[in-house]
Amino acid sequence: EIHQREYLSNGEMKQWEGAVHTVYSPVAVQTPDGYKRKVIGTYPVCTEKEAIESLDAAVAAYNHGRGQWPTMSVQDRIRCVEQFTHKMKEQKDIVVKLIMWEIGKSVADSVKEFDRTVEYIYATIDALKDLDRDSSRFEIEQGIVAQIRRSPLGVVLCMGPFNYPLNETFTTLIPALIMGNTLLFKPPKHGTLLHYPLLEAFKECFPKGVVNTIYGRGHAIVPALMQTGQINVLTLIGSSKVADELKKLHPKVNRLRAILGLDAKNAAIVTENADVSLAVSETVLGALSFNGQRCTALKIIFVHRSKVDQFLGQLSEAVSKLKIGMPWEKGVALTPLPEPQKPAYLKDLIDDAEAYGAAVINRGGGASFESFVYPAILYPVNQKMKVYREEQFGPVIPVVPFDDLEEPIQYLIESTHGQQVSIFSNDATETASLIDPLVNQVSRVNINCQCQRGPDTFPFTGRKDSAEGTLSVVDALRSFSIRSLVATKLNENNKQ
In whole angstroms, the minimum distance from the beta carbon of 358 to ligand G3H comes to 26
In whole angstroms, the minimum distance from the beta carbon of 282 to ligand G3H comes to 13
Residue from 24, 84, 114, 164 in contact with ligand G3H (CB under 6 A): 164
In whole angstroms, the minimum distance from the beta carbon of 428 to ligand G3H comes to 26
Nearer to ligand G3H, 151 or 169 (CB): 169
Residue 294 binds ligand G3H (CB under 6 A): yes
Residue 452 binds ligand G3H (CB under 6 A): yes
In whole angstroms, the minimum distance from the beta carbon of 158 to ligand G3H comes to 15
Nearer to ligand G3H, 199 or 449 (CB): 449
Residue 393 binds ligand G3H (CB under 6 A): no
In whole angstroms, the minimum distance from the beta carbon of 254 to ligand G3H comes to 28
Residue from 6, 102, 168, 339 in contact with ligand G3H (CB under 6 A): 168
Residue 295 binds ligand G3H (CB under 6 A): yes
Residue from 181, 296, 422, 466 in contact with ligand G3H (CB under 6 A): 296
Residue 117 binds ligand G3H (CB under 6 A): no
HEC string of the chain?
CEECCEEEECCEEEECCCCEEEEEEEEEEEECCEEEEEEEEEEECCCHHHHHHHHHHHHHHHHHCCCCCCCCCHHHHHHHHHHHHHHHHHCHHHHHHHHHHHHCCCHHHHHHHHHHHHHHHHHHHHHHHHCCCCCCCEEEECCEEEEEEEEECCEEEEECCCCCCCHHHHHHHHHHHHCCCEEEEECCCCCCHHHHHHHHHHHHHCCCCCEEECCCCHHHHHHHHHHCCCCCEEEEECCHHHHHHHHHHCCCHHHCEEEEECCCCEEEEECCCCCHHHHHHHHHHHHHHHHHCCCCCEEEEEEEHHHHHHHHHHHHHHHHCCCECCCCCCCCCECCCCCCCHHHHHHHHHHHHHHCCCEEECCCCCCCCCCCCCCEEEECCCCCCHHHCCCCCCCEEEEEEECCCHHHHHHHHHCCEECEEEEECCCHHHHHHHHHHHHCCCCEEEECCCCCCCCCCCCECCEECCEECCECCHHHHHHCEEEEEEEEECECCECC
In whole angstroms, the minimum distance from the beta carbon of 474 to ligand G3H comes to 17
Nearer to ligand G3H, 291 or 415 (CB): 291
Residue 262 binds ligand G3H (CB under 6 A): no
In whole angstroms, the minimum distance from the beta carbon of 23 to ligand G3H comes to 21
Residue 417 binds ligand G3H (CB under 6 A): no
In whole angstroms, the minimum distance from the beta carbon of 264 to ligand G3H comes to 8
| Stretch of 3-11, 224-232, 290-298, 383-391 lying at the interface with ligand G3H (CB under 6 A) | 290-298
Nearer to ligand G3H, 61 or 295 (CB): 295
Binding site for ligand G3H (CB under 6 A): 163-164, 168, 294-296, 452-454
